[in-house]
Amino acid sequence: MPISDAKVLTGRQKPMTEVAMLFAEVTTEHGLVGLGFSYSKRAGGPAQFAHAREVAPVLVGEDPNDIARLWTKLVWAGASVGRSGAATQAIAALDNALWDLKGKRAGLSLSKLLGAHHDSVRCYNTSGGFLHTPIGGVLDNATRSIEAGLGGIKIKVGQPDGALDLARVKALREHVGDDFPIMVDANQQWDRATAIRMGRALEEFDLVWIEEPLDAYDAVGHADLAARLDTPIASGEMLTSVREHKELIDARSVDIVQPDAPRIGGITQFMRLLALADEAGLDLAPHFAMELHVHLASTYPRQPWVEHFEWLEPLFNERIQIADGRMIVPSAAGIGLTLSDRVTGWTVADDLVTE
């Protein structure tokens, strides 16, 4: 079924029908294999694939332990297309594969390799709250999520008619009760004046956060909104570099930072960003890709949230365990994922670099 959020209802995007996945395997001379991935929604998958194919050969013959140096080498291999966007999203698949390999060589999960603060992390569901789903279906999805052990529910807002948004949030709050955590996501579709009005109207529902109320790059607008509302402001999923996130952090634009490791260049860059966010006293709620982010969020000193999307589950043989509102951090070495037979059959190209 095509997926719709506020960007669709405002005419800026078409309903989403697919997620393009980029997988990378890095093999050592001793036969160990690291698996990494990146992704793109709606458009950009072929661009990521093409760029990764061009720059990957610079890894041949290198020591896979030197991940930070290799990330820089990959960036310079494609320097003419920049250090953000599709270029770094392509590099992310290779970077993640190197970290998976390092974990396997050490016999440690990615969480333990990086240094864990938590063995489990709070989790919330998003996939059941899109705007194409009637409110009755949203409430049914919320019930199923709670019964499955999830600890929060996020629904989409940002419709042209704000009254419809408020009615949906009111119905959800009444359905789950006063104490259950709920969040809303406007997907960048409000202007500054609308965000203030809607933010004030939403205060009564005691939300955990309001996500992407404004354009993702509007640091000034987000900072003003965060200062004027009691409800915390969250954003960052659309940003594609640490530098872009740093602009929001420096401006005090958000209370909760929402990086996406595949979008900002992989685990190497994600960990750089976590240090900046921690220093600024921000909370953390990574976007999408829970199979990867459950590890990364576990390394954050504060209690993070991880977004539950079941969309990628058919790609892997493993499943993340959930109990009492929390995701259990996997203990298998590396990222702890193996590709399912189904996705192996979908592979477009293999053995791009063999010498």
Residue 237 labeled ligand binder: yes
Residue 102 labeled ligand binder: no
List CB contacts of 294: < 8 A, sequence separation 6 or more.
Answer: 111, 121, 306, 320, 327, 329, 330
Spatial separation of the C-alpha atoms in residues 151 and 122, rounded to whole Å: 6
287 as an active site residue: the answer is: yes
The catalytically annotated residue of 104, 112, 287, 293 is 287
Residue 63 labeled ligand binder: no
Residue 41 labeled ligand binder: yes
Residue 62 labeled ligand binder: no
Q: Angle at the Cα of 224 (from 220 to 230), degrees rounded to 5?
A: 145
Residue 5 labeled ligand binder: yes
14 as an active site residue: the answer is: no
Residue 326 labeled ligand binder: no
- β-pair partners for 327: 121, 322
Q: Strand, helix or coil at 101?
A: helix
The catalytically annotated residue of 51, 104, 112, 156 is 156
List CB contacts of 304: < 8 A, sequence separation 6 or more.
Answer: 118, 121, 122, 283, 284, 285, 286, 297, 298
Q: Which residues are annotated as a binding site?
A: 5-7, 41-42, 154, 185, 187, 211, 237, 307
Q: Which residues are annotated as a binding site for Mg(2+)?
A: 185, 211, 237
Q: Which residues are annotated as a binding site for substrate?
A: 5-7, 41-42, 154, 187, 307
Report, as residue numbers or ranges, the catalytic residues: 156, 287
